[in-house]
C-alpha cells in the first residue's frame, strides 16, 4: 500500500502537471473543474469522503495514456480507481467516482426504466447523483476556489484513518 504522503503527492503531481488541459466546452482546465466540483461539494455540506470524490472524479483523464485519447475518452471514471484504492481510499470515495458517469446519464434521462431502477438501487446512487450535479455545474472560467493545497490536506484527512486502521490490523 502506498503511504498517505505517496498517494497525495501522486494526486498533486497529476493535477498540477496535467490539470492544465482544457475541460469540455466550459473554458476551464481540468484542475479548475476539479476544484470547483470539490468546492460545490463543500458548499452542499457533503462529508469529506464525497468532497474527496468530487475533487478526484475525473482523475482518470489525467493518467498516462489518457491524454493520447483526449479528455473525454470512455471509462475515465474507472481508470484511476485502482491507484486510489491502493492509496487507501475506500468505497465512500471510490463508488461515487465509479458511478458518476452513470449518474450523469440518469440525470439526463438517458437510461431506460430498468437501467434507472438498477442504478438507483445501488447503495452509492445518491452520492453519485449529487456528484453528477456538481460535475455539470463546475465549469465557470475565472471562478475563485480554494487552492489545490487546501483539498490535498482534506485528502490527507480522509486517508489518515484508513492507514491507521491498516497499521492496527497488522499489529
Q: What is the pLDDT of residue 19?
A: 92
Kindly report the CATH number assigned to the domain that includes residue 60: 1.10.3210.10
Number of domains in the chain: 1
Per residue in 29-45, pLDDT (tens digit) is 999 999 999 999 999 99
Q: How many whole angstroms separate alpha carbon 7 and alpha carbon 2?
A: 6
Range 6-34 average pLDDT: 90
CA distances from 136 to 30, 40, 101 (A): 13, 11, 11
Predicted TM-score (pTM) of this structure: 0.88
- Residues spanned by the domain of 166: 4-170
Per residue in 37-88, pLDDT (tens digit) is 999 999 999 999 999 999 999 999 999 755 544 445 568 899 999 999 999 9
Per residue in 99-112, pLDDT (tens digit) is 999 999 999 999 99
Q: How many whole angstroms separate alpha carbon 61 and alpha carbon 59?
A: 5
- Check the CA dihedral 45-46-49-51 and report its sign: negative
Residues 6+ apart with CB under 8 A from 54: 34, 37, 38, 40, 41, 46, 131, 134, 135
Amino acid at each position: 500500500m502506498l503511504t498517505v504522503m505517496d498517494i497525495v503527492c501522486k494526486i498533486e503531481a497529476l493535477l498540477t502537471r496535467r490539470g492544465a488541459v482544457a475541460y469540455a466546452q466550459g473554458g476551464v482546465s481540468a484542475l479548475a473543474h476539479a476544484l470547483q466540483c470539490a468546492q460545490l461539494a463543500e458548499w452542499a455540506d457533503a462529508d469529506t469522503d464525497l468532497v474527496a470524490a468530487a475533487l478526484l472524479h475525473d482523475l482518470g483523464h489525467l493518467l498516462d495514456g489518457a491524454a493520447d485519447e483526449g479528455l473525454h475518452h470512455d471509462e475515465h471514471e474507472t481508470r484511476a480507481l485502482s491507484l486510489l484504492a491502493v492509496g487507501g481510499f475506500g468505497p465512500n470515495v471510490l463508488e461515487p467516482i465509479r458511478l458518476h458517469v452513470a449518474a450523469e446519464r440518469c440525470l439526463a434521462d438517458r437510461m431506460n426504466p430498468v437501467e434507472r431502477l438498477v442504478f438507483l438501487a445501488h447503495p452509492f446512487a445518491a452520492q453519485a447523483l449529487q456528484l453528477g450535479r456538481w460535475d455539470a455545474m463546475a465549469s465557470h472560467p475565472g471562478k475563485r476556489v480554494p487552492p489545490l493545497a487546501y483539498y490535498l490536506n482534506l485528502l490527507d484527512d480522509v486517508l489518515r484513518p484508513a492507514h491507521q486502521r491498516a497499521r492496527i490490523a497488522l499489529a
